[in-house]
Amino acid sequence: MNRWMTICASIVAFATVSLRAQEQAPTNDELLKELRRLNERMGALEATHESDQKKIRELEDRLKTLESTPTDPLGKPQSTAPVKSSGEGPSTAEPPNSEDELQALLGEGATKSAPSPSPQTKALFSFGPSPSGGGIQSFNPDISLNGDMLATYSKSEGGQNDDEFLFRELEIGFSGNVDPYTRADMIVTVGKQSSHDDYEADLEEAYLTFLQLPAGLQARAGLFRSEFGRANPTHLHALPWIDYPFVIKRYFGTDGLSGTGAELSWLVPNKWNEYLGLTYEIFNNDNDTLFAGRESDDFTNLLRFKASHDLSPASTLELGSSIATAPNDSGHGSHRATVGGVDVTYHWKPKGSGLYRSFLWQTEVLASHSETPHGGESAWGMYSAAEYQFARQWKMGVRYDNTELPNRASLNERGYSAYLTFLQSEFVFWRLGYIYTDRNFREDGNWNDQQVMLQLNWTLGAHPAHRF
């Protein structure tokens, strides 16, 4: 019995050793043969690639020749060669149709596997807007949706946002090139400020941008957010905070400074090769927080200067100054209100780890003077904010607010905020925020307030990039 067990064990051991021997690495001769086969395949692929490239160049030359052929009013090519007679009467042969010939050539080339066409070929066959901003109008503009939802908890009762869920805003955007010279953008919002309000649709922006003006000029005409400072031109969902800074809301209202009019911007040429931008705007005096609003028959005039300098390959410093003035009483106005501001922005994003590390510091200071029948009222306000990205999907930030009310400078409001942002993807982010507000006056019956907010924001569709 033991002898049979020994024989079986020997057979199993021999089989195991044989299998392991088969799993050993191939010999040098086998590797050499495999390398030769790979070299032969590479040579065949290179030959096919050269053949396909030659065919594409022939197609490009043929297409240029067809485009240069004169055509009749119906679009058919006209033959420039004399028609030979067969002696049996006039020839009835028609010149070949360029479209049929082109389709035949393209069909012949499509039977082979070819690499991506060259930029010249793409340009010849492209009928949409070009990457440079020109091109023929696409009949379907880019359409995007952006939804913004809040869950809020407030220590004070009776305020604008109590303990509630609030779908704050749905932004619907349309954008696209009208022709090679102009671009159209339109944004419609549906939202409300608190759960006590009804949803209202509002045309937030609708303007044309003229792209091909000479001397570094660019213009806009229509309804747009004003280029005053850094925070005001930014849409709500693109802010690095849950809401606009106190000074922006107190001076320009919850919707910011905007109006219907025209804008002309100039990229100033300079010997230092730096970004220097100058912008002038004139629009209807619709803002009724600092100015007279629709009771005025005059316009708001605004001037902004912005300069940007690269401190290093990873860091940029931007400086800006803005001033706006308009009547603050009815008619053409015998009294005016003027507001000026300066802003500083520092951005750090290293090239090697830009997806995981970045830092943003942004500060604005505003000062206003309003003329009144009894003299004038001067006030000021500011905010300073910092945001640090410490991981690919995580950011944290703080903001300090301090502002006087523009029409009653004796009233002061301060705010202390902290935020934590999770970037779920390029299209969805979550933001948890805490805001403490301290006032020397009562608002909604409260001297101060503490709020905790959770923001959920998402984007669907091709949302256009925001202005620099």
Q: Nearest Cα to 230, choosing from 221, 217, 241, 220?
A: 241
Q: How confident is the model at residue 214, as a pLDDT? A: 93
Average confidence score pLDDT of the chain:
81
Is the pLDDT assigned to residue 109 strictly greater than 80? no
- 291 vs 285: CA distance, rounded Å: 7
Mapping DSSP to helix (H, G, I), strand (E, B) and coil, where does residue 314 land? coil
Q: Which CATH class is domain 151-461?
A: mainly beta
State the Cα torsion 92-95-96-99 to the nearest 10°. -120
* Least confident window among 23-37, 370-384, 441-455: 23-37
The whole-model pTM stands at 0.69
The radius of gyration computed from the CA coordinates of the chain, to the nearest angstrom, equals: 34
Q: How confident is the model at residue 55 (pLDDT cuts 50, 70, 90)?
A: confident
Q: How confident is the model at residue 159, as a pLDDT? A: 61
- 58 vs 37: CA distance, rounded Å: 32
Instruction: Give kind and range of the element (H or E) at residue 173.
Output: strand 164-179
* pLDDT tens string 128-141: 444 444 445 557 89
How far does CA 11 lie from the centroid of its chain? 72
Classify burial at 11, counting beta carbons within 10 Å of its beta carbon; exposed 0-12, middle 13-18, buried 19 or more: exposed
C-alpha distance from residue 439 to each of 306, 404, 429 (Å): 33, 10, 31
Contact 142, 465 (CB under 8 A): no
Dig out the tokens for 468 from the structure. 């620099």
- 254 vs 257: CA distance, rounded Å: 9
Q: How confident is the model at residue 355, as a pLDDT? A: 84
Q: Which residue has the higher pLDDT, 30 or 118?
A: 30
Contact 236, 256 (CB under 8 A): no
Is the pLDDT assigned to residue 100 strictly greater than 80? no
* pLDDT tens string 298-307: 899 999 999 9
Neighbours of 350 (CB within 10 A): 15
Q: How confident is the model at residue 6, as a pLDDT? A: 45
